[in-house]
């Protein structure tokens, strides 16, 4: 997938994305689970989106860290969706979200352990073999953690190397975790295998209390996250960058202004052909 700055597709803003002219994303991203087998008006609009923009997919439900077998029925539908809509990139979360077929409707962290590395890496390899493509895994936010056997950068690096997949680096997630768990986000970035970054997410968050930030994908990106993003993109090769917004769509011009700001920052360091 070509580098550029994209925007997450939500039904609330699908018309705005279709009508965008002067400031417009370079691509759009969808959660395939939310669009598989969708017909009618929104099915038609998705086809119009794909005619106008390259499409990336970011999964929500594979639950790569779960103990039970992978959901091959879902994987089959995802693979068909990729063929139908010519999906250029696919990613999932380094987490689990179901157990014994109970969907938890949240992305829960994995223990930073060698056992988890081997378990998740095996499942990622199975997914890649089935889909016949490399995928990327995303570093998630977490608010509690078990006693680790290794630090998080080592955990992420080990999985990327053992599964031979890419990293979807969510810069806001690094910042949120660094604030909540009291570590230096710049040092965290430097410890990651940046050569494996294939995609970046940017988003806003909300400060719930003096010592707690919640990753809600509903606010404007704050300056410290932009600063961390600028630091990051100077250390990696050009990749697609995605602005996530899941709620609070009252200010559409402000949302597209964020897309433009990210484009300006990217263009300052990378040569992006649009």
> pLDDT exceeding 70 applies to what percent of the chain?
97
Residues 145 and 108: beta-carbon distance below 8 Å: no
pTM of the model: 0.96
Find residue 213's DSSP bridge partners.
207
Q: Judge whether residue 142 has pLDDT over 70.
A: yes
Residues 90 and 132: beta-carbon distance below 8 Å: no
Residues 126 and 70: beta-carbon distance below 8 Å: yes
DSSP-derived pairing of the beta strands 212-214 and 206-209: antiparallel
Residue 92: closest CA among 114, 107, 112, 110: 107
* DSSP-derived 3-state class of residue 115: helix
What number is the average pLDDT over the span 63-75? 94
Distances 95 to 82, 119, 160 between C-alpha atoms, Å: 22, 12, 14
Domains in the chain with CATH codes? 4-269 (3.20.20.150)
- Continuous H helices in 171-251: 171-181, 185-191, 223-233
Give 239-255 pLDDT, tens digit per residue.
999 999 999 999 999 99
């Amino acid at each position: 997938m070509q580098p550029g700055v994209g925007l997450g597709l939500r039904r609330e803003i699908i018309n705005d994305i279709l009508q965008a002219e002067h400031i417009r994303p370079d691509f759009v991203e969808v959660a395939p689970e939310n669009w598989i087998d969708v017909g009618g008006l929104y099915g038609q609009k998705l086809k119009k989106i794909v005619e106008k923009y390259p499409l990336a997919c970011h999964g929500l439900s594979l639950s790569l860290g779960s103990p039970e077998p992978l959901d091959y029925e879902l994987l089959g539908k995802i693979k068909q969706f990729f063929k139908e809509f010519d999906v250029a990139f696919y990613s999932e979360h380094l987490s689990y979200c179901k157990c014994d077929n109970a969907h938890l409707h949240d992305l829960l962290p994995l223990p930073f352990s060698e056992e988890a590395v081997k378990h998740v890496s095996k499942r990622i390899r199975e997914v890649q073999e089935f889909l016949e493509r490399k995928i990327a895994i995303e570093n998630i936010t977490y608010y509690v953690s078990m006693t680790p056997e290794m630090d998080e950068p080592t955990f992420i690096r080990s999985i990327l190397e053992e599964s031979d997949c890419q990293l979807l680096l969510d810069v806001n997630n690094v910042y949120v975790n660094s604030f909540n768990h009291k570590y230096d986000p710049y040092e965290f970035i430097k410890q990651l295998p940046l050569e494996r970054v294939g995609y970046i997410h940017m988003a806003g968050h909300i400060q719930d209390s003096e010592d707690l930030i919640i990753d809600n994908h509903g606010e404007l990106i704050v300056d410290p996250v932009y600063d961390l993003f600028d630091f990051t993109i100077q250390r990696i090769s050009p990749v697609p960058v995605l602005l996530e917004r899941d709620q609070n769509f009252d200010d559409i011009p402000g949302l597209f202004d964020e897309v433009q700001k990210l484009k300006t920052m990217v263009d300052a360091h990378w040569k992006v052909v649009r």
